[in-house]
Structures are given as C-alpha cells and as structure tokens.
C-alpha cells in the first residue's frame, strides 16, 4: 500500500497540512522541518523503494536505556528501533541496564568501546558515568544524551525537554487547579541521580515560591519508578490527611492512582504527572489524573538518530529541545 500523508505526519511529528506543503513544494515551512518531512517520506517509501544501500558497511549505533516497566521508556525503545531501521545505513542495538546503577551503566559504556560508532543514552549524572562517557568519546565514539542531560561530558548534543521548565509548568498547573488558600503538595521523584528529575524538582519549587506562596511542598518520596513503592508512599501521605496535590516527576503513576482510588480521593487531590502513555491516558479519562506534561518520544528518537548519524558522517546538527505539551482529558490526541 502507498504511504499516506497521515503516516508521514505521524512519524515526522508534524501536521498533515505541513506534510502536504512540503510534498507539493509550497512555501510556509521551515527548512529544518522540510528536511525532516522529506527524510521521513523517503524512509517510508513515499517516493518509491529506498535506493543506494549497496554493500556499504552499516553505521553501528547503540542506545543504553534503563530496564523496567516505565511506560515512557518502553515507547522510547520502540521508536528508537523504528527510526534506526528506517535508515538502511544504520545497524542499531538497544541495551537495557537492570537497576540502572552507575556501576552497571559505566561498565556497559566501557564494553562498547571499539564496537560501535555512536551511542545515545539516558544518563545518570554520576562521576563513574561521566568518566566512562569521556573515555568512550576519546576513542572516537560519538555520544549524545537523551531525556536527561549531563552538561559537562564530551558529547555531540542533548535531545530532550528543558526539564526545569517542565517542573515549573507542572507547578503552574498545580497552582491554577487548586482553589485559593493554603495547600500541601507531595512530590514523587524517580531518582535524583537523573539530572532531569532533579531539575524538575527545582522548577516546581521555584514557581511555587514565586507565584503560589500559600502552597507548600509537604514532603518528597524517591520511588525509583516502582509503582508498588509509589502506592505505599501515596498512602503514607494520604494518612496524614493534609495533602491537596501530588506532582509525579517520574514514573510510578499507576501506584499513585491506585492509592488515590482506594482512598476515594481521586476527585479531590489534584494529580499532575509526566508523559502520555497508555496508563496515563486511562488516568486522564477516568479523572484520576488532572494533567500530563508530555514530551514526544517519537520525535526525540528521530532527533537523536539524526544527530548521531550526522556526527558520524562528519557534519553537525543543532541540539533539539522538543516542545512541552500539556494534555488534559479534553485534548487527548488520538493514537
């Protein structure tokens, strides 16, 4: 079957109208967006079967991600493989690190030396990991961070949202959803070893102190994306009887939702989280969750593959910060 405009739009992360303008060579599209749409159209076979694959040796690209049940990471794995496989010149491998601790992560990076051309990773900001990244970069491997950045390492770029801005946005939503008056908020953190999670916490604290001085963060819980631990910590907060809002910085949202439903306060406690997944979609629909601050894993996968591939070929691409989008029950996008 012929590739459709809608398929190209979905893969490129743009509207069908934008794809139509590009394919018909009309004005009104930024050069970068035009390049992305044309690249996706070629990869999907819109202009006919891809040509020029020949017998050239493939570019080796590896992605190092945390293992586990995190729904966002599962989507990211899927889109990374899809994006890499759409490029005939790339051979991609996903490495999942159980427990995603610094020792295992740094050992995997050392193991990739001499076996790959480029590495994209969701990185822990830890001395061992920083040293392993720099050693790998010195060997000639191109490295890019994904979702959570480490600013001080030798890399070609970062692909992910501005996490401090994401935390401020979540804090703004809490402040606007809750009625005027004093309120206590509980903050759930995946892991402070992720700079991105640390930056989100900084963001929510800063906007609450600036814009909503009557709102107080009554406590934080580091739950390691474990939904059972998130459930027990939510019950602990609810038993205190003074929590009006919850901000979930990482994963574990299903555990939080279960506790809110069991306590029959899902319509009373304002619940803000991150990333539109199958699970958070259902929570929005049944009103357990009030809003999701979303980043697009499909676009992030596309951009990190593009960034790494260009670097291996000797060219440069600018870092890409995807736009933040707030999803409510009323504007959930179709799948």
Question: CA torsion sign, 304 to 305 to 306 to 307?
Answer: positive
**Overall fold of domain 59-160+298-323:** Rossmann fold (3.40.50)
Sheet holding 157-159, edge to edge: 90-97, 59-66, 118-121, 142-146, 157-159
**Overall fold of domain 163-294:** Rossmann fold (3.40.50)
**In the 3-class helix/strand/coil scheme, how is the chain assigned residue by residue?**
CCCCHHHHHHHHCCCHHHHHHHHCCCCCCCHHHHHHHHHHHHHCCCCCCCCCCCCCCCEEEEEEEECCCCHHHHHHHHHHHHHHHCCCCEEEEEEEEHHHCHHHHHHHHHHCCCCCCEEEECCCCCHHHHHHHHHHHHCCCEEEEECCCCCCCCCCEEECCCHHHHHHHHHHHHHHHCCCCCEEEEEEECCCCCHHHHHHHHHHHHHHHHHCCCEEEEEEEECCCCHHHHHHHHHHHHHHCCCCEEEECCCCHHHHHHHHHHCCCCCCCEEEEECCCHHHHHHHHCCCCCEEEECCHHHHHHHHHHHHHHHHCCCCCCCECCCCEEECHHHCCCC
Place of tokens 């996490």: 163
Residue 121 pairs in a beta bridge with 64, 145
Domain locations along the chain: 5-43, 59-160+298-323, 163-294
pLDDT of 54? 47
Q: In sequence order, what are the residues at sequence separation of 6 or more whose Cβ sits closer than 8 angstroms to the Cβ of residue 107?
A: 132
Sheet holding 325-327, edge to edge: 215-222, 183-189, 245-248, 270-274, 291-294, 325-327
| Cβ(122)–Cβ(64) below 8 Å | yes
Q: What is the pLDDT along the chain (335 residues), one digit of tens a residue?
A: 567 888 888 878 888 899 989 988 888 888 878 888 888 887 777 777 654 444 456 889 999 999 877 889 999 999 999 999 988 899 999 999 987 789 999 999 999 988 899 999 998 899 999 999 999 999 999 999 999 999 999 999 999 999 999 999 999 999 999 999 999 999 999 888 889 999 999 999 999 999 999 999 999 999 988 899 999 999 999 999 889 999 999 889 999 999 999 999 999 999 999 999 999 999 999 999 999 999 989 999 999 999 999 998 888 777 778 889 999 999 998 86
Supply angle C-alpha 320, 151, 306, rounded to 5: 30
59-160+298-323 against 163-294: fold identical: yes
| Cβ(136)–Cβ(110) below 8 Å | yes
Place of tokens 């999701």: 292
To the nearest 10 degrees (0 to 180), the angle between helices 253-262 and 278-285 is 30
């Amino acid at each position: 079957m012929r590739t459709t405009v809608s398929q190209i739009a979905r893969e490129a992360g743009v509207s069908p109208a934008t794809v139509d303008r590009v394919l018909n060579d009309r004005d009104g599209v930024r050069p970068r967006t035009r390049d992305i749409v044309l690249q996706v159209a070629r990869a999907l076979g819109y202009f006919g079967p891809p040509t020029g694959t020949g017998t050239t040796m493939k570019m080796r690209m590896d992605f190092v991600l945390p293992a586990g049940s995190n729904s966002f990471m599962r989507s990211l794995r899927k889109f990374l493989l899809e994006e890499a496989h759409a490029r005939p010149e790339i051979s991609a491998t996903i490495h999942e690190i159980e427990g995603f601790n610094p020792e295992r992560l740094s050992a995997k990076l050392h193991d990739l030396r001499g076996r790959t051309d480029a590495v994209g990773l969701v990185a822990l900001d830890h001395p061992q990991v920083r040293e392993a990244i720099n050693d790998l970069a010195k060997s000639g491997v191109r490295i890019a961070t994904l979702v959570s950045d480490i600013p001080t390492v030798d890399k070609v770029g970062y692909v992910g949202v501005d996490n401090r801005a994401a935390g401020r946005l979540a804090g703004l939503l809490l402040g606007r959803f809750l009625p005027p008056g004093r309120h206590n908020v509980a903050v759930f953190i995946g892991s402070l070893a992720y700079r991105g999670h640390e930056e989100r916490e900084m963001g929510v604290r800063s906007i609450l102190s600036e814009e909503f001085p009557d709102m107080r963060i009554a406590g934080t819980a580091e739950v390691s994306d474990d939904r059972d631990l998130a459930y027990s910590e939510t019950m602990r907060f609810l038993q205190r009887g003074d929590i009006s809002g919850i901000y979930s910085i990482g994963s574990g949202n299903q555990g939080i939702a279960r506790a809110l439903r069991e306590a029959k306060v899902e319509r009373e406690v304002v619940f803000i989280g991150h990333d539109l997944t199958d699970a958070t979609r259902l929570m929005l629909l049944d009103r357990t969750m009030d809003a999701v601050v979303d980043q697009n894993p499909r676009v992030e996968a596309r951009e990190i593959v593009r960034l790494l591939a260009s670097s291996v070929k000797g060219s440069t691409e600018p870092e890409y910060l995807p736009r933040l989008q707030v999803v409510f029950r009323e504007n959930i996008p179709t799948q």
